[in-house]
Chains A and B, each alone.
Chain A
Amino acid sequence: MPVNQRRFVEVFRETCAEVPERFPGYRHVLLEAVADVMTAEREHSIRHTQIQQKVSDVCDRLGDSLAADSGEEGGQRAKRKR
């Protein structure tokens, strides 16, 4: 995380609250994903990393959890069935 971590987290949390809760706990997962991206970016700012790949992976992971938890049958139900 970049400097003034606390301030960043505060703002991210506030902004996440404006996103629809696509499944219960989605906003929390989204906030974690954003934090992961920022950690990766922070690391990349110090030394060269496969940053695009890392960011894409985070997005895909978030998307996949959304797919698993929502969908036509409803995410939570689908989860319970498994």
Chain B
Amino acid sequence: MSYYNPFQSQELRIPEAYREEVNRFCQSQTDALAKTTPDESPFQRYVDLWFLAVCLGARKGKRTKVEKPHRFIMGEILSRDPHRIELLELIAISFSGEPWIIDKPASVIELANELAATGLPEVLGLLGDGPAKPIWNLTDGLLDLVPRTYPHD
């Protein structure tokens, strides 16, 4: 089944400076021989971490210009998770106050990449914040951010 994906030919980017650290927390990027478990590398793919960074960047409401971008993948990957396309569009609409911004996919992705640049240090901060393994640090950190959910209910 093919989904609507206006971002097929857009580049997803992160600042080069975070590249190495991001690699560490993505299973698809770690050496297969090192056999990192999800506990150490909680994200299955690069795009998963990128998208979470977008979310956290959006919550901060701040765009950060991506200096020295690392183009890690094309927007085509988003076809696998249509909800992300929808959310990226909703963020863009909300952030710009202009519904028809969705006619300009490049602008939407540019916004997303800049929000990700803002959110990345947040994600990396959550991963390393605590004595436990990264997956637990991240889980605990995110639970604090997500409203009305376990274990705070």
Asked whether the complex places CB atoms of A and B closer than 8 A, the reply is no
Q: Footprint of A on B, CB under 8 Å?
A: none
